[in-house]
């Protein structure tokens, strides 16, 4: 990345894309010096695609091959790698991307192309990896929940955590209410972390994060 030129970002999505929207909004109002060079979805009906198209961002749907057959995991990953090679992003962001990635893709991006890749996860990692985090947090009686942005490594949801936003889990919360609060926190946390990459306050060397901040990683944002 050249100094002051926007950080080129590719975003992988599977669903609604409200976190993609948070990035698009900040690109458009120029509060984030980024250029979203493309959005890849493994679902043809992901609303995130509509959001990208409305903002004139190129999209790639990788769900079925030329014969109408669902892509295998490896088939998807090979296609996605080719697309990323063409787009040449500086950063790959998984924002609601709901497909487990294999080392073929993860190493292909982070080692082969030397592009850092980050994921947004709806829990305070290392607690509550995997799915259904909100219901599991409530079942355990936790009073704190939130979201994390972490480096993507081969182990699921286990790469170095860069930043977390903490929200309260209330006794009477339903999983949906808690999910909504976490979602809002994600819309703040993800752009903040991307901005740290833009400003080179976080850099990745040999798969490990370095920070020029006077604060240690992970950064913690307490939102209520």
By CB under 6 A, name the binding residues for ligand GRF.
15-19, 48, 95-96, 120-122, 147, 183, 186
Of residues 156 and 213, the one with the C-beta less far from ligand GRF: 156
Q: Check residue 186 and give left, alpha or beta (phi > 0: left; psi -120 to 50: alpha).
A: alpha
Kindly tell me which of 78 and 102 has the beta carbon lying closer to ligand GRF.
102
Give the span between the Cα atoms of 218 and 220, in whole angstroms: 6
Catalytic residues: 121
Nearer to ligand GRF, 1 or 223 (CB): 223
- Give the nearest distance from C-beta 4 to ligand GRF in angstroms: 28
How near is the Cβ of 131 to ligand GRF at its closest, in Å?
9
Q: Which is nearer to ligand GRF, 19 or 27 (CB)?
A: 19
Q: How far is the CB of 204 from ligand GRF (least distance, A)?
A: 21
Of all residues in the shown chain, the one whose CB is closest to ligand GRF is 96
Closest distance between ligand GRF and the C-beta of residue 122, in Å? 4
């Amino acid at each position: 990345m050249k100094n002051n030129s926007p950080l080129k970002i590719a975003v992988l999505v599977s669903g609604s894309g409200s976190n993609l929207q948070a990035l698009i909004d900040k690109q458009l109002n120029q509060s984030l010096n980024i250029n979203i060079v493309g959005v890849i979805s493994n679902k043809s009906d992901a609303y995130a695609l509509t959001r990208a198209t409305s903002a004139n961002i190129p999209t790639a749907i990788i769900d079925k091959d030329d014969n109408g057959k669902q892509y295998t995991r490896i088939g998807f990953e090979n296609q996605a790698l080719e697309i990323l090679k063409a787009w040449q992003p500086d950063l790959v962001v998984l924002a609601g991307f709901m497909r487990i990635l294999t080392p073929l893709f993860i190493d292909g991006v982070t080692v082969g192309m030397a592009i850092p890749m980050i994921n947004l996860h709806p829990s305070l990692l290392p607690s509550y990896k995997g799915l259904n985090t909100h219901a599991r947090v409530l079942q355990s009686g936790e009073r704190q929940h939130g979201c994390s942005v972490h480096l993507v490594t081969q182990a699921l949801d286990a790469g170095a955590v860069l930043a977390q936003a903490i929200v309260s889990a209330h006794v009477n919360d339903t999983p949906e209410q808690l999910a909504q609060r976490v979602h809002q926190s994600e819309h703040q946390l993800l752009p903040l972390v991307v901005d740290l990459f833009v400003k080179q306050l976080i850099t990745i060397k040999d798969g490990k994060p370095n920070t020029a901040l006077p604060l240690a990683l992970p950064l913690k944002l307490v939102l209520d």
